[in-house]
Structure 1
Amino acid sequence: MEESYVLHLQKQYQKFSDFYLCYCGHARCEPLHSYGPAVRPNYLLHYILDGSGIYHVEDQDFPLHKGDGFLIEPNKQTFYQASEEDPWTYLWIGFDGAKCESCLHSLGLGSDRLTFHCEDDGSLLKLVDSMLTYNKSDTEADFMLQSLLCQFFARLAKGISWGPERHLSKRERENLYIHQAMEYIRNNYANGITVADIAGYVALNRSYLFTLFRRVLGVSPQECLTQFRLTRAKEQLTLTDASVANIAMSCGYQDPQVFSKAFKQQFGITPVKYRKWDRERALRSLEHMAEAPGEAVSEEDALG
């Protein structure tokens, strides 16, 4: 490499375990400069600022040019090389965390789609250059780097386009909408969200969202939201001593009576009676185990 600028981080994971920056940089490569075959422990995105090269993964070769990018997944052997006549200049960010797959999926990237094209006005390079200035391990730097990582993904989300050969199929697009909607429900079910909020988040009208949920999941968005909330409530009734009113609030119900009515309609029993029944069942199971310690309790008996 003729010119390279690199930042390696060590402690980001301590504050941001779901999604955090590991390292970043950019470089202008010499002709035929290559990396690999190699395996990475984390996710890595490259974006080509100029020139061209080739990305090889799992017996596939991807010729790439200015404006293209490629994803390297953890624990997969990859190889990439700059062209001889027009070697590329690229930037990269390495990242990791429990929500990486979800974040990438929201961009349309994953194991089945490892390359992309992104129209950019220089913002991605500016963001990486900003990351490079925070080379100290302190609280300000940690939060600023986290912010810049999110801005980087936001810029990708704005600029990524799929050419004819990269066009998302109707099924892929529908699955992406469902994934985004379910992620929104998981993260916000406790906040009193509505179907309109879900539709707004995935940028679909309510009618199409309803059709999509019915076709893919077999339930309406409202039914899906209700089932998710009540399943979480059921878990809390089993695992905590919180009052029914508090559980209702934590699952997005402002009125405990509305919650109890919905719970009974879904499970055929009120929350109070369910908690009593569940704990009596657990007690019977423990008594049975104490009386016959050498006998295994079947799943059917344990579940009542």
Structure 2
Amino acid sequence: MITYMCKNNHFQELQLLHYGTEACAPGHHFGPAMRDYYKIHYILDGKGTFEVGGKKVELRKGQGFLIVPHSVVHYEADQNDPWEYSWVAFQGSTCPSLLQQSCLSEHHPIFELGNDDDEIRSCLHRMISSRNTHKGWEISMTGLLFQFFSILIDRASEDRPIPFQDYTKETYVTQVMDFIEINYANTITVQSIASHVGLQRSYLCSLFKDKMGTSIQSYLVNYRMRRAAELTLDPALTIGDISRSVGYADQLLFSKMFKKVMGEAPTYYRKHKTAPSHLCS
């Protein structure tokens, strides 16, 4: 196994954490366990199995799989034809967008390039054969990671992602709530949520309200305000700090919404309230 670490990556948008390649022994496995960063494996030869969320799929040369943070996974090399793979581990603010454009997500973690995979093999080879011997090495490696994603995005097509999990209405609702939990501090819209989930806006809104009894917009506002209520307990944060931390650049609008949801202005809430038991964990 060859592993290379990137300890001093200063690119917050996309950080390459480590990368490598391994010709696995028969039955070599990882998990069930989770990572706290994103990781993509690409199978160069052989085969094995990948399992997440109680679903298992057999994978082979020319395919790959995504691991998302905090998702329990298990993967194992075949006993008779164990796989050899390369991997890249990464994190950063652009990851959700890059993965979405690549048609990859927690619920659709599998991709396939088949035999026509010279580009991605070349990119991975350049990455793995690179050495930290010059000042621009870190920039070069980040560039190669962006190139890696550009290949995946270019190859994404209507027949991808490979079906991995039966989608139910509850699945889409969970995706919406997960997206809000991760992105509530950013400027997001119902349309951006619908694009992430992969459904038409009107249909997703109807589905969500039917299952949750409230609109996506109301759920987002309430989630932000409950998070804000937690932050008011930190005396080091100003109301402006809290407002921006939950996605409101306009402090006056934030205060108005906070009072509407919590029943009190944020300054009053801070002075007279303790941590309510109903707040988000």
Is residue 185–residue 225 contact of structure 1 (8 Å, CA) maintained in 2?
A: no
The whole-number CA distance in structure 1 between the counterparts of 2:196 and 2:105 is 16
Could you say what secondary structure the match of 2:206 adopts? helix
Question: Partner of 1:22 in structure 2?
Answer: 18
- Pairwise CA distance, 1:82: 6.3
Distance 1:115 1:273 in 2: 50
Equivalent residue for 1:266?
261
What does the per-residue CA deviation read over 1:240-292, in whole Å, with 9 as the maximum and x for residues that have no partner? 344434533443334433322211221111212111103xx59xxxxxxxxxx
Q: Aligned with 2:233: secondary structure?
A: helix
| Greater Rg over alpha carbons, structure | 1
- The equivalent residue for 2:119 is 123
- Quickly say closer, same or farther: Cα 1:234–1:116, change in 2 above 3 A: same
How far off is 1:93 after superposition? 0.8
For residues 48-197 of structure 1, the aligned pairs below 5 Å read 48-49=43-44, 53-55=46-48, 64-69=59-64, 76=74, 78-80=76-78, 83=81, 91-95=85-89, 107-109=104-106, 116-118=111-113, 121-136=117-132, 140-153=136-149, 155-156=151-152, 158-159=155-156, 161-162=160-161, 166-171=163-168, 174=172, 177-178=175-176, 181-182=179-180, 185-186=183-184, 188=186, 191=187, 193-197=188-192
Displacement, 1:222? 0.9
Q: 1:155 to 1:274 in 2, by over 3 A?
A: same
Which residue, 213, 221, 242 being the options, matches 1:226?
A: 221
Measured against aligned partners, the alpha-carbon deviations of 1:79-105 in whole angstroms (never above 9, x if no partner) come to 33564xxx97x5411537799x98989
In 2, Cα distance between the equivalents of 1:97 and 1:78? 24
> Residue type matched to 2:209 in 1?
R
Letter in 2 for 1:37: H
CA distance in 1, matches of 2:112, 2:47: 14
User: Judging changes above 3 Å, is the alpha-carbon distance between structure 1 residues 13 and 96 closer, same or farther for their aligned structure 2 residues?
Assistant: farther
Equivalent pairs: percent with the same residue? 29
**Partners in 2 of 1:35 and 1:13 — Cα distance?**
35
Amino acid at match of 2:28: P
Secondary structure, counterpart of 2:232 in structure 1: helix
How big is the shift at 1:128?
A: 0.4
Establish whether residue 214 from structure 1 lines up as the match of residue 242 from structure 2. no
Aligned length: 257
Residue type of the partner of 1:134?
S
The verdict on how the C-alpha distance between 1:81 and 1:45 changes in structure 2, with shifts beyond 3 A counting, is: farther
1: distance between equivalents of 2:201 and 2:56? 41
How has the CA–CA distance of structure 1 residues 175 and 226 changed in structure 2, closer, same or farther, with 3 Å as cutoff? closer
Cα distance in 2, alignment partners of residues 46 and 169 from structure 1: 23
Secondary structure in structure 1 of the residue aligned to 2:184: helix
- Alignment gaps of 5+ in structure 2: none
* Cα 1:107–1:216 shift into 2, 3 Å: farther
Q: CA RMSD in A?
A: 4.7
Query: Residue 184 of structure 1: CA displacement?
Result: 5.7
Opposite residue 22 of structure 1, the aligned amino acid is H
In 1, distance between residues paired with 2:221 and 2:66?
36
What residue number does 1:239 align with?
234
Query: What secondary structure is seen at the aligned counterpart in 1 of 2:242?
Result: helix
| TM-score (norm: length of structure 2) | 0.64
Change (3 A) 1:49 1:175: farther
User: Of Structure 1 and Structure 2, which has the larger fraction of its residues in helix?
Assistant: 1
Deviations 1:119-144 (A, max 9, x none): 55533212202313431166632343
SS at match of 1:9: strand
